[in-house]
Amino acid sequence: MRALYDVPAPAKLNLFLHVVGRRADGYHLLQSIFVLLDWCDTLHFELRADGALARHDLGAVLPADDLSLRAARALQQASGCTLGADISVLKNVPWGAGLGGGSSDAASTLLALNRLWGLHWPRERLQTLALKLGADVPFFVGGRNAFVEGIGERLTPIALPRQWFALVKPPQPVATAAIFASPLLRRDSDAAIVVDFLADTQLMQWLSGAEAGAAAMTTMSWGRNDLQAAAEDHCPEVAQAARWLEARFGNSRMSGSGSAVFARAGAGDQPVATWGENDLPPRWVGRLSRSLDQHPLWGWAD
């Protein structure tokens, strides 16, 4: 195998995000449900025999040492592999959005190079390496929608119905560090045991829309994002985006640390609503996206 082309790196949403405490080392403890989306970056990998690692930007210019390069370097060093790769990245998922784009690029890099270099590492070994790269990276390597705990390392796969989501992102990115340092951040949400949490009737109805058919998919009646108040204070356009979606879909919630905001938009073959080509405010990015049952690269790790 000399190359792998058109490798997807899907975005994710936090359906809710509760901060339930803080570790002695300063890391925040979270509970969330992560869901994969069909909005993807695209990466290409070409084998190099000289051991060098190089990234080539096919669209937006990325930082010199982005997460895809760091992931490649980490896997090369941990495995002792003498091969290298040219990595080309077409960035579609906006950065600074809370959609996990950079983390997903890193995960797809680990999965692709594991295959291209013939390492055959099992998924669990890749996930251990992934956690050193960032809290969201293990989720993307895991490849399933999941209940997420701790700092992102504790994953419980869950089955979710296919859903439509309307996403909008204002132009200003939000720095995660600024949000977690904010005095507005709530850090004392009640923690739940995962088995009890997933047995919660109200939660499961909210996830499936079972209590009111398709109409239930357009509500945000369960949970919250504990980071949203701090993000709206840091970036007022987050609140503007939330109101914009509320007016069209009757609900909204920020994903991750922002600045992207989403609305549930139905569970049928088509979303319950949409917007016109010129409806978005200037420089905003918007997309109607559908959830995935599993990562497109699910079969790429043993």
Name the 3-class secondary structure at 39: strand
Residue 40 buriedness (CB in 10 A; 0-12 / 13-18 / 19+): buried
What would the two tokens of residue 206 be? 């909210």
- Active-site position among 66, 105, 136, 226: 136
CA gap 116, 132 in Å, rounded: 22
- Active-site position among 12, 41, 66, 169: 12
Name the 3-class secondary structure at 262: strand
Of residues 1, 42, 33, the one with CA closest to residue 208: 33
The helix (run of H) or strand (run of E) holding residue 127 is helix 123-131
What would the two tokens of residue 108 be? 């797809």
Q: Which residue has the tokens 């890391």?
A: 27
Contact of 152 with 34, CB cutoff 8 Å = no
Q: Which residue has the tokens 């090369």?
A: 76
DSSP assignment of 200-238 equals: -HHHHHHHHTTTTGGGGGG---S--BTTHHHHHHH-HHH
Exposure string for 123-141, b = 16+ CB within 10 A, e = fewer: bebbbebbbebbbbbbbbb
What would the two tokens of residue 199 be? 């047995």
Of residues 261, 219, 224, 237, the one with CA closest to residue 98: 261
Please, what's the largest Cα pairwise distance for the chain?
Answer: 59
Question: How big is the chain by its Cα radius of gyration, in Å?
Answer: 19
Active site residue 12: yes
CA gap 220, 207 in Å, rounded: 10
Catalytic sites, residue numbers:
12, 136
